Amino acid sequence: MKKKINIYVIFMIAAFFMGTMFPFAYSGVDTGLDQLKILVDVMGKIQDNFVEEKDAKDLVVGALYGMASQLDEFSEYISVEDMKAMREETKGEFGGVGMRLNSSKQGELIVVTPLPESPAYKAGVEPKDKVIKIDGRPVSEMKSDEAVAALRGEVGTKVKVELERKDEKTGKTSIKKVTLKRTKIIPEVVFSKMLEGDIGYIYVTDFSGHTVEGFEKAMQTLQDKGMKALIVDLRFNPGGLLDSAVNMSKLFIGDNKLIVYTKGRKEEFFKEYKSNPKAKYADIPMALLVNEGSASGSEIVAGALQDHKRAVLIGSRTFGKGSVQQVISLPDTSGLRITVAKYYTPLGRMIHKNFKAKNADETGGIVPDIVVPFEPAKARAATFYTTNLIYSPSKKTAEPEQAKAADPVLERAVELLKAREVLGNLNVKEDAKAK
C-alpha cells in the first residue's frame, strides 16, 4: 500500500514541478529530485504513523500550500473552489442574492447591506440581519468563505436563507425565512455625490471589470450638475485588475505618458503601460484620497497622478502592495499565484513595501503630498456615511450608526479645492489690473 502511495505522490509532485514551476524555478533547483524524495519519505511516515489516517492527495495539497507560502506574502496555492470564486470576483459579476456580508467571528455572518434592487433587497433583508441557515444548514457549522459560496450559484437557481433579526428598541429577536432566486450580481464599486462648492466626490471601492464604466457614468452625472472640481476617494480600495487601474489613470493623464511599469527577474516581465494621446478629463482640478487600506491598483493610480502632478494626494501612506502575481492554471483546475515582478511609478519609485524589514511601515507605498493622520476605524465609518453605502428596504437603517462622522481628510481636500478656485480668481483680477 505504501509503495502505491509513494508512486502516486511522486507522480503528483513531479507533474506539479514539471508542468508549472519549470518555466520559473525548476531550472535553478539542482537537487530538486532529491528533495522530492525526502518529501515523499515524510509523507510515508505520516501515512504509517499518524494517529489518524490521512489521504495522500490531502497531504500533497497541504505541501503545495506550504511551498507557495514560503515564497512571499502574496504567492499562494489556490484550490479548485477558490479559483472559481476568483474568476467570478475579477469579472465583477456573479450569480448571487445581493448581500454585502461581514464575518465578525466564526459562526456569525452579518448583513452589512443588501444591494439595491437585488433579490435580497426585494425580499426585505435588512442591514444587521444575521444569516443563521443556508438551505437548512447552520452557518455556525461553516467557514465564512464556505457560507458565502453557498449563497452564490448558477443564475436562476434558488437558495433558502434563514435570518435572525434583533429589534433595536425591545432587544427581542425574530426569525425571517426567505427563498431567494439567484441573479447576475454586478456589485456597486463606484459611489458619487456633489459636495459644497460644486465639488464632485467619487468613491471607488475596487478595480473590477466594471469600475471604469461606473466611474465615467458618475463623472457625467456630476458634470451635468455643474461640477468644477473633483475628489476621488481610494481609501480602503485593495486594488483588483491592473487594466482597470491603468484605464482609470488614462482618464486624467494624456500625451502618451508612462503610467506604471513592471520589472522582474526575466526580461519578459518588464512591461510599460502608457496613457493615450488625449485624456478625457485632463483639466479638472483634482484631489485624491488614500490611506493604509489603499493597495495595488489604488497605488498605481496614486503614483501616476502624483508623479505627473495631475492631482494632489491627501491622507496617509498607502499599503505598499506593489508586486505582480501571475496566476497559473493547473491540470485539476486549481492554480498557483506566484510573484513575477514589481510595480514602479513613472519616476521609478518602487511601490512594494519590504514587509520583513524592521521599519516596514516606512518603506514602499505612496506618501501623500499632504499627510492627514486619521484612525482607520473612524475613517471607514466616515466613508460609509459620505457614500451612503447602507441600503434598507424599510428605510429604518439607511444610514450607519456613525452618521455625520467627521472626516478631516475629506475636509482638507474640500478646503484645498475651494482655495484653489479663490486664488485662481485673485490671479485673474490682478492680471486685469496690470493691463
The pTM of this model reads: 0.73
Q: What is the pLDDT of residue 12?
A: 53
**Which residue among the candidates 249, 296, 323, 334 is catalytic per the annotation?**
296
Told to judge if 266 belongs to the known catalytic residues of this protein, a careful annotator would answer no
**Which residue among the candidates 129, 206, 307, 407 is catalytic per the annotation?**
307
The CA distance from 110 to 113, in Å, is: 9
Which of 52-56, 65-69, 116-120, 222-226 is most confident? 222-226
| Residue 89 pLDDT > 70 | no
Q: What is the pLDDT of residue 402?
A: 44
Higher pLDDT, 205 or 27: 205
Q: What is the pLDDT of residue 284?
A: 96
Arithmetic mean of pLDDT, 305-319 = 97
Confidence of residue 18 (pLDDT cuts 50, 70, 90): very low
Told to judge if 27 belongs to the known catalytic residues of this protein, a careful annotator would answer no
Grouping H, G, I as helix, E, B as strand and the rest as coil, residue 77 is: strand
Higher pLDDT, 363 or 238: 238
Arithmetic mean of pLDDT, 21-34 = 51
| Residue 313 pLDDT > 70 | yes
Q: What is the pLDDT of residues 362-391, one digit of tens each?
A: 778 999 999 999 999 889 888 877 886 777
371, β-bridge pairs: 315
| Residue 429 pLDDT > 50 | no
DSSP state for residue 115 in the 8-state scheme = P
Residues in Cβ contact with 390 at an 8 Å cutoff, skipping those fewer than 6 apart: 112, 113, 127, 384, 397, 398, 399, 400
**Which residue among the candidates 128, 133, 257, 321 is catalytic per the annotation?**
321
Told to judge if 321 belongs to the known catalytic residues of this protein, a careful annotator would answer yes
Burial class (CB in 10 A: 0-12, 13-18, 19+), 174: exposed
Burial class (CB in 10 A: 0-12, 13-18, 19+), 41: exposed
138, β-bridge pairs: 133
Which whole-number Å values give the CA distances from 105 to 85, 109, 131, 134, 328, in the listed order? 21, 8, 13, 17, 32
Burial class (CB in 10 A: 0-12, 13-18, 19+), 410: buried
Q: What is the pLDDT of residue 426?
A: 59
Mean pLDDT value across the chain: 84
